[in-house]
Amino acid sequence: MREFGFEMALCARLEAGGRLVSRQLGASTRGRRVVDAVIVEPGPAFDERARLTSATIPAAAIDADVGPGRARFWKDCFDRDSIPPERAREVVERGVEIGFFERERRGGQTYLRQAARYPEEWFGRLIGVENKPDLDRPGDLRTQLRRDVSLAALDAVILATESYVTGAHRNRIPPEVGIWRVDADVEGGTVDREVVREPTPLPVEEPGLEIDERRPARTDVEPVTAAEKARLRRTIAEHAYGKGWRVAFPDCPHVVETAVAGVGGIPYCSRAGRIAGRVDPCSCTGDERGGDSHRSASIDLRGRRATHSPWVRDPEGAASEQAGLERFL
């Protein structure tokens, strides 16, 4: 199976267990590492976070000096040395749009307060999954996994593969990384998973090392403080909450919805006989496309996610349409 289809099928299987799952998330402080899939385990304050908004809350909005009490002048809420005014305005608008900020007008000036206090303990463990169906074509797998283990921003890291895992494969993979052998049958709608090796818990509360670049005789690393890691973990969790793992259906008459492990919202190309999305499109020509775009648009991907995962689609704290229009007053 192609890596994209393997990844989508595995995400469906994981979500079938009621997990919060997302894919293709940045997981480094230098922006060089993207993890294939992340599982977010709910923390004690998960329900409080779910009531705020269904979207990702920007890190700059969470870090802004805005509380749920007395409203403050918006420019005083941001560190002007680190966030330029243009960026601060974007954060304000996005925060109001998703219902995280409440905005007041006083004498033509904007004042902000949080709709509710941000619950820092809303997520628990973060588990990263690196998908590599064919271990005989590993690419940069060893370096990628070593980066994850060295930084230790994720509580655990797991390699998922379709290949039979030999002793040689194990020796090339950091011992802290768990291994799953996955058999995905998309047409049959099943994904079987065998735990070959359990992952070792990583020290997420301690400082880590970011591997920046590896060369034959040298590895460049940068220290990452525990506080930087905590902020990165929160960012990963927030992106996972807002993004999920599903993709928009390609505009092709041969693409239909399929389900894996009882979880729907997956685009399947009946002509090619595989999962297909915009990042891994069908092989149809331009003349064959555009036959039934309304059908694809009618598939409620957000509804599928709300049905199977703890993500809340329309929370109590989400901004109403009227509140969103307030920016124009």
Query: pTM of this prediction?
Result: 0.91
Name residues whose C-beta falls within 8 Å of residue 87's C-beta, 6 or more positions apart in sequence. Answer: 60
Give 285: exposed, middle or buried? Use CB within 10 Å, 0-12, 13-18, 19+: exposed
Alpha-helix residue ranges (DSSP H) falling in the chain: 3-15, 46-52, 59-63, 85-97, 141-151, 167-172, 226-243, 293-297, 301-308, 321-324
Among 14-28, 65-79, 184-198, 290-304, whose mean pLDDT is lowest?
A: 290-304
Domain boundaries, the chain: 3-46+120-243, 63-114
Does 224 have pLDDT greater than 50? Answer: yes
Q: What is the mean pLDDT of residues 293-309?
A: 83
* Amino acid at position 223, single letter: P
10 Å Cβ neighbour count for 123?
23
Give per-residue pLDDT as tens, 143-180: 899 999 999 999 999 999 999 999 999 988 999 999 99
Give per-residue pLDDT as tens, 80-98: 888 999 999 999 999 999 9
Give dist(CA 266, CA 245) in Å, integer.
Answer: 10
Given CATH 3.30.60, say whether it is the number of domain 63-114.
no
